[in-house]
């Protein structure tokens, strides 16, 4: 196994297009690191630079104790798993898995042993004599992973390996991939545009946008404490509700934010935990509210304290929960690049984007479309951002 270090790595194409800009990222030995972001953010380019398939413009890449900038892919001790499996259709499962070892002149008995171990690990023992055309998508992906495992590399690189699978199989396979990585213990860099996949698989997640690294942290930390508007909007499904609001503070004791003519009270602990809010007194801020931090109240509630009034636009009953889409009379704050990101992820009700918000209610809610409801807001869990630079407001 090996740690990976990217130090100010950049990729600029001859036509001037900047694909990756000053990317610095450390991946610990044995860690499962996920690169996530919308299409075109530079995550696959970053992976290909680590693999040696894309020449870097500047910066340094180290794998273990070696600087690999000038090393060919075959000399970097890596194994890649691609989106399209890249299996040889005329070869059996066993031959596909063992092919990299055959190329390196490994003795036949050693190839047989390692292929058998990989097939057993991946549950392919009964399929080793079949050819790819006789396998399901999930089985083909397991074969592709087996071909990477038998090489016993110091680093796995995976480029959207589950994107060609149907939704149910993707859920199953992402659990299997995460379990497999834990068992094998090989350092892994995994690229995906699906933030649910990133959150459920990664030890840490690096969020990229337009060639830049926005934030890297554990999945829960990204969700609970995003550094920027983009991370707040991108991480989470349904997305965080974002609104531009005016902040009013009375000393250090209390305050409120005004949303489209409604006032939402802020208790003192919200202000003391975010002293940076004092600089925004009387100024606009962007407030973020997670859908699960909105709960329903019976009847139409007055908009005092931690309550807001809203009109119900759509109710999606999902069995385990209900997603209630509403209108507060104030537009959602649009963050550049997140509309396409939401579409990439297949987020719910994209046709409502930009006109309201979403709350996560219990499965047996009785709210109905066209009615007015009271929303109780978990004010202690609000997020605040600067509308100009998009950075989180904390200290």
Looking at residue 297, its pLDDT comes to 79
Looking at residue 336, its pLDDT comes to 74
Contact 184, 149 (CB under 8 A): yes
Same domain, 189 and 283: no
Beta strands 4-12 and 58-63: pairing type?
A: antiparallel
Which of 30-34, 63-67, 193-197, 207-211 comes out lowest in average pLDDT? 193-197
Percent of the chain with pLDDT over 70: 92
Same domain, 289 and 175: no
Last residue of a domain, which of 212, 233, 254?
233
Separation between Cα atoms, residue 69 and residue 210, nearest integer Å:
23
Tokens encoding 117: 């171990």
Under the banding of pLDDT at 50, 70 and 90, the label for residue 304 is very low
For the residues 362-384, what does the mean pLDDT come to? 93
Write out pLDDT tens, residues 97-142. Answer: 999 999 889 999 999 999 999 999 888 999 999 999 999 888 998 8
**Does the pLDDT at position 349 exceed 90?**
no
Query: Full-prediction pTM beyond 0.95?
Result: no
Separation between Cα atoms, residue 390 and residue 384, nearest integer Å:
9
Looking at residue 166, its pLDDT comes to 84
For the residues 378-385, what does the mean pLDDT come to? 93
| Residue 369 counted as domain residue | yes
Last residue of a domain, which of 233, 253, 284?
233
Q: In this structure, is the dihedral angle defined by the CA atoms of residues 187, 190, 196 and 199, taken in order, positive or negative?
A: positive
For the residues 60-66, what does the mean pLDDT come to? 96
Same domain, 229 and 271: no
Same domain, 223 and 317: no
Looking at residue 228, its pLDDT comes to 96
List residues bridging with 375 in a β-sheet.
296, 308
Helix (H) or strand (E) holding 213: strand 212-217
Looking at residue 301, its pLDDT comes to 44
Q: What CATH number did the domain enclosing 299 receive?
A: 2.40.50.140
Same domain, 44 and 133: yes
Looking at residue 52, its pLDDT comes to 96
For the residues 274-284, what does the mean pLDDT come to? 91
Same domain, 277 and 148: no
Residues in the chain, how many?
395
Looking at residue 15, its pLDDT comes to 95
Domain that holds residue 120: 4-233
List residues bridging with 35 in a β-sheet.
191, 206
Same domain, 196 and 299: no
Alpha helix ranges (H) inside the chain: 43-51, 93-103, 108-121, 137-149, 167-184, 195-201, 219-224, 229-234, 268-273, 338-345
**Does the pLDDT at position 348 exceed 50?**
no
**Does the pLDDT at position 12 exceed 70?**
yes
Under the banding of pLDDT at 50, 70 and 90, the label for residue 352 is very low
Same domain, 300 and 329: yes
| Residue 87 counted as domain residue | yes
For the residues 43-66, what does the mean pLDDT come to? 96
| Residue 391 counted as domain residue | no
Looking at residue 334, its pLDDT comes to 84
Q: Map residue 380 onto helix, strand or coil.
A: helix
Same domain, 314 and 303: yes
Q: What CATH number did the domain enclosing 125 receive?
A: 3.40.50.300
**Does the pLDDT at position 347 exceed 60?**
no
| Residue 116 counted as domain residue | yes
Last residue of a domain, which of 209, 233, 257?
233
User: 3-state SS of the chain: helix, strand, coil percent to 5?
Assistant: 30, 30, 40
Contact 285, 385 (CB under 8 A): yes
Separation between Cα atoms, residue 208 and residue 189, nearest integer Å:
14
Q: How does the average pLDDT of the chain come out, rounded?
A: 89
| Residue 390 counted as domain residue | no
Write out pLDDT tens, residues 280-299. Answer: 998 999 999 999 999 987 54
| Residue 49 counted as domain residue | yes
Residue bearing the bigger pLDDT, 114 or 344? 114
Tokens encoding 164: 């060609």
Same domain, 224 and 307: no
Same domain, 34 and 180: yes
Same domain, 193 and 238: no
Total structural domains within the chain: 2
**Does the pLDDT at position 6 exceed 90?**
yes
Tokens encoding 67: 């600087």
Write out pLDDT tens, residues 127-183. Answer: 999 999 999 888 998 899 899 999 889 999 999 988 888 888 888 888 888 888 888
């Amino acid at each position: 196994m090996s740690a990976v270090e990217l130090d100010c790595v950049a990729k600029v194409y001859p036509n001037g297009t900047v694909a990756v800009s000053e990317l610095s990222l450390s991946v610990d030995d044995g860690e499962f690191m996920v690169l996530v972001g919308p299409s075109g953010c530079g995550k696959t380019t970053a992976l290909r630079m680590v693999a040696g398939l894309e020449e870097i413009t500047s910066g340094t890449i180290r794998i273990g104790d070696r600087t690999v900038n000038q090393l060919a892919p075959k000399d970097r001790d890596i194994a890649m798993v691609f989106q399209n499996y890249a299996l040889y259709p005329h070869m059996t499962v066993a031959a596909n898995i063992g092919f990299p070892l055959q190329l390196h002149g490994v003795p036949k008995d050693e190839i047989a042993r390692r292929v058998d171990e990989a097939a057993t690990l991946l549950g392919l023992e009964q399929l080793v004599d079949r050819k790819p055309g006789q396998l399901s998508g999930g089985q083909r992906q397991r074969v592709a992973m087996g071909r990477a495992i038998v090489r016993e590399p110091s680093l796995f690189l995976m480029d959207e390996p589950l994107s060609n699978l149907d939704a149910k199989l993707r859920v199953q396979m992402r659990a299997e991939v995460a379990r497999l990585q834990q068992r094998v213990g090989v350092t892994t860099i995994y690229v995906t545009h699906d933030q649910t996949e990133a959150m459920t698989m990664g030890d840490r997640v690096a969020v990229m946008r337009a060639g830049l690294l926005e934030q890297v942290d554990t999945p829960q930390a990204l969700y609970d404490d995003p550094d920027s508007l983009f991370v707040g909007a991108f991480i989470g499904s349904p997305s965080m509700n974002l609104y531009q609001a005016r902040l009013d503070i009375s000393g250090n004791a209390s305050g409120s934010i005004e949303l489209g003519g409604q006032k939402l009270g802020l208790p003192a602990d919200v202000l003391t935990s975010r002293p940076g809010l004092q600089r925004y007194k009387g100024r606009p801020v962007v407030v973020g509210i997670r859908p699960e931090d909105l709960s329903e109240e019976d009847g139409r509630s007055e908009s005092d304290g931690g309550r807001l009034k809203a009109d119900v636009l759509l109710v999606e009953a999902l069995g385990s929960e209900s997603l209630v889409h509403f209108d507060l009379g104030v537009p959602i704050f649009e963050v550049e690049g997140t509309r396409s990101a939401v579409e990439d992820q297949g987020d719910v009700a994209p046709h409502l984007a930009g006109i309201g918000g979403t709350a996560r209610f219990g499965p047996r809610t009785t709210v109905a479309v066209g009615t007015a409801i009271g929303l109780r807001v978990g004010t202690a869990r609000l997020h605040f951002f600067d509308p100009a630079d998009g950075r989180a407001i904390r200290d």
